[in-house]
Amino acid sequence: MSERVGAMGGNMGIPFDDGVFDGVRKIIVGKDWDCVSYMKIEYENSDGNFETREHGTIRGGLQEFTVDYPSEYITSVGGRYEHVPRYGTVLIRSLIFKTSGGRTSPILGYTTSFGHPAGREFMLEGKNGGRLLGFHGRSGQALDAIGPHFFAVNSPLKHFNRQGGNGGSAWDDGAFDGVRRILVGLGGRFISFLRFEYAKGQRIVPHAHGKRQEVPQEFVVDYPNEHITVVEGTIDGYLTSLRFKTSKGRTSPAFGNVVGRKFVFEEKKFKLIGFSGRSGDVIDALGANFGPYPAPTPAPTQASASTKMGPLGGNKGNAFDDGIMDGVKKITVGADEYSITYIKIEYEKEGKDEIRDHGTKRGELKEFFVDYPNEYITAVGGSYKHIFNYDTTLFKGENGGKLVGFHGRGGYAIDAIGAHFSQAPISSPSSVIKVEAVGGKGEETFDDGSFHHVRKVSVGQGNSHISYIKFEYEKDGRRITQEHGQRTSRGTEVFEVGQNDGITSVKAYYEKLDGWKTETITHLAFKTLKGINSQPFGKTPVIVNERTKLSLLEGGKITGFHGSSSDVLHSIGAYISAFPQTMLHGKWIQVEQKGRTPGPRCSHDIAMVGNKMYAFGGELKPNFHIDRDLYFFDFKTHRWSIADPNGDVPDLPCLGVRMVAIGTTLYVFGGRDGFRNYNGFYSYDTVKRSWKLITHVNKGPAPRSFHSMAADDKNVYVFGGVSIQERVNTLHAYNIIDQKWIEFPNPGESCKARGGAGLAVVKGKIWVVYGFIGEEVEDIHCFDPVESKWTKVETRGEKPWARSVFALAVVGKYIIISGGEIEMDVKAHLGPGSLTGGAFVLDTESLVWEKLEEGHSPRGWIASTTASIDGKKGLLMYGGKAPTNGRYEDIYFYGVNSA
């Protein structure tokens, strides 16, 4: 559903209409000296792919406005237009955009020498905050006219006013797609606690209100197949009872004590999509939002609707307006014996701190801190004196709305003060996902819920399992403890999480042990945002048979746990607060293959030349080679072929081989056959279709397999691997111009000898990432060829667990890794080991990791390379070893849309 809003501007140029897309990611505007000359829009279509449209003529400087779609979207299109003498017609002189996140773009296009826009102003907005879906207008030598397509909402929401008293603090959860689960807790005669788990797309967004006293009761909805259609309750000063009815005809039990005045929220053909209310130690009042059933409700706008209140006070001093921020973290106030002289506000906007101060710093200073985003200011009070004396709350946001900015007047003191309030936050600062528990099904299930922080974990061990676990959580400054399982005489071990840290991942092993009907947790380990690993809890994890399994709980900050237990811990799951992706935005695709393929394999390698992916080597059975053919896959035809075997064809079919490309030439080094005979160093000219032996196996770097290779435009780099006798940690380079090998200084014991590491060249420096030294490791080292110096690098963030034989690619300053082995198999290379499908990206400047979406099944010994396909650069991977110890033959590509 969309509405086409008429274009503003002139009537010259050629008409255009981009049509309707899902949304807009980026707008680039060409700024000529007197008008907007050019406009380029990056849209996202319904398939999640990007399409661009261009209008006008590229001329002048380019300005860019990027939107964090779909979390944020454009809701208003404005600007200025007027007659431009140089062109003899009316043109768009400047543009400005507003978003659902409360942001306003800079002025894009022409401004006066004082930085002000010129011309007749316009502002186009969709009804009910609808998002921008496309543009239409007129253009030629410049942009003559512009108009938008906006999302249109046919059916408004139905809001039921709060029933109950005026005590406590007001709140409004807003509107979601539906309700998944409701927890109701009592405190004496009244309902004191409510927790709602809302559905928003594929995410679960929890909101809790009141004070949890007695153990809550729950009502679970079979969303999306079922919806709540009726909410009934009673009020006796406070909320005393609740009952729910659903679209499937189910009726919940009556939660609480059915006494007092009855109320009913019901609207035919509508479903419950959110609650509002008031609460303190009990639930004072309750209201609800209903949306059309079964049609989905529109995405709510978080800060596009804000209210400007005041100012109150005098009319002297200089006017100021801080505008609309995300929230307030700290306020510093200065006062002398007569008045407020100074105010300093520390805001947060888009994750960054912004400071504004007004008045003159004089007198005593006092500070007020806010635990933003877990807490926010809902009212501003004070007094002012001239003719009147007013000492009460001056401003208060509607429905518990939060303070997002100040305005007023200030000079020698604070003459007047006013406030901007936004609607109460519709969702928590980051979406909370309930990750399914792994392990067996114990006699007792537990669900601790989601908190702000996990501060301490205490673990008790039995003979071969985890018998007991205790979590210490923090919420609203309070510590809450939950314990599960049975303590033993062995006592407990403790892992404490620092004040400015948080758990980001849990490694859990589980196994069906003799004497137990279901699996038990046998090993746990925790990792934090600062890259700190806990001590291992439980027995040493070794894959001994098919009964032993490994799972990772990760994807953001862990805020709570759930699972099951008896006398032991049987299963564990987590609530995870997802971090927004700030580094890379991309998408996984599986590449179609037509006709006959080379067959499944692992321990091979690939490289890209133009639109062709070359593949060489590999194994189907552990430790035994397949063939010595060089295959190539054409991304235009999606078919495989065998390259012509001319020239010095490699002597051996090999596994554990490595290959890179420089220009149109492939470089292949090392690898071995099933009898541990090794290959030398070869090149293959893809234009002349001919092999060349560059260095005999006994004349270059020591023969090896499962090493790492990377390249820049002049050098082939080789690091580590397994030689005839041992693992090595040497770094060599072959210069294709000088046609000589050099060996760089050895990194020493800080970077131990290893195989299966990642090797990357980023901005002239060589990075060694993780690997296997007899066990998987997670250290990173960087070599600077200019300074001839090694540096061990400490990273943080959503840091992946130790691993080897993973896929790797480089996009700009980012290193992407995916998959790999995280625990060695007891049969070594003969077995599959513990494999993962997790993908991560490392910013080599900030040294921070972020988790990416997973796009393929768990695997290791993967062939991978950096590739550009259909205009997108990213990670290309082919084949690998499966958790079943089988081999894959599929092709996956993670294409980066924006970085």
* b/e sequence 613-628, b meaning 16+ C-beta within 10 Å: bbbbbbbbebbebbbb
Residues 656/671, Cβ–Cβ less than 8 Å: yes
Best CA proximity match to 434, nearest among 443, 447, 421 = 447
Residues 721/708, Cβ–Cβ less than 8 Å: yes
Place of tokens 């001093």: 317
- Give residues with Cβ within 8 angstroms of 315, minimum separation 6: 409, 415, 416
Query: Which pair of tokens denotes residue 270?
Result: 């509508």
Indicate which residue of 672, 754, 803, 887 is catalytic.
672
Cα 581 from Cα 768, distance rounded (Å): 24
Going 146 to 147 to 149 to 151, the CA torsion angle's sign is positive
Indicate which residue of 181, 278, 727, 859 is catalytic.
727
User: Any catalytic annotation for residue 727?
Assistant: yes
Residue 594 has, within 13 A of its CA and on its CB side, a CA count of: 6
Cα 469 from Cα 461, distance rounded (Å): 9
Please, what is the Cα angle at 67 between 61 and 73, to 5 degrees?
Answer: 130
Q: Give the DSSP H or E segment for 343.
A: strand 340-349
CA dihedral of residues 594, 596, 602, 608 (deg, nearest 10) = -60
Place of tokens 């009537």: 11
Best CA proximity match to 664, nearest among 636, 683, 679 = 683
Residue 470 has, within 13 A of its CA and on its CB side, a CA count of: 15
Count of CB atoms situated within 10 Å of the CB of 149: 22
Residues 757/804, Cβ–Cβ less than 8 Å: yes
3-class DSSP string for 489-547: CCCEEEEECCCCCCEEEEEEEEECCCCCCCCEEEEEEEEECCCCECCCEECCCCECCCC
The residues pairing with 389 across neighbouring beta strands, listed in sequence order, are: 385
Cα 397 from Cα 495, distance rounded (Å): 41
Cα 84 from Cα 672, distance rounded (Å): 72
Cα 43 from Cα 47, distance rounded (Å): 11
Query: Which pair of tokens denotes residue 738?
Result: 């000088």
Query: Which pair of tokens denotes residue 73?
Result: 């979207």
Residues 341/332, Cβ–Cβ less than 8 Å: no
* b/e sequence 827-846, b meaning 16+ C-beta within 10 Å: eebeebbbbbebbbbbbbee
Cα 723 from Cα 732, distance rounded (Å): 14
Instruction: Give the full edge-to-edge strand order of the sheet including 306-313.
Output: 306-313, 414-422, 402-410, 318-321
Cα 683 from Cα 671, distance rounded (Å): 14
Q: In whole angstroms, how far apart are CA 116 and each of 9, 76, 79, 187, 610?
A: 19, 19, 12, 59, 48
- Within 32-164, strands assigned E span 36-44, 50-56, 61-66, 74-84, 89-99, 108-109, 120-125, 132-139, 143-151, 158-164
User: Any catalytic annotation for residue 80?
Assistant: no
- Within 423-512, strands assigned E span 432-439, 444-447, 453-461, 466-475, 478-485, 492-496, 503-511
Give Cα 441 to chain centroid, integer Å. 31
Count of CB atoms situated within 10 Å of the CB of 40: 17
Q: Which residues are identified as catalytic?
A: 672, 727
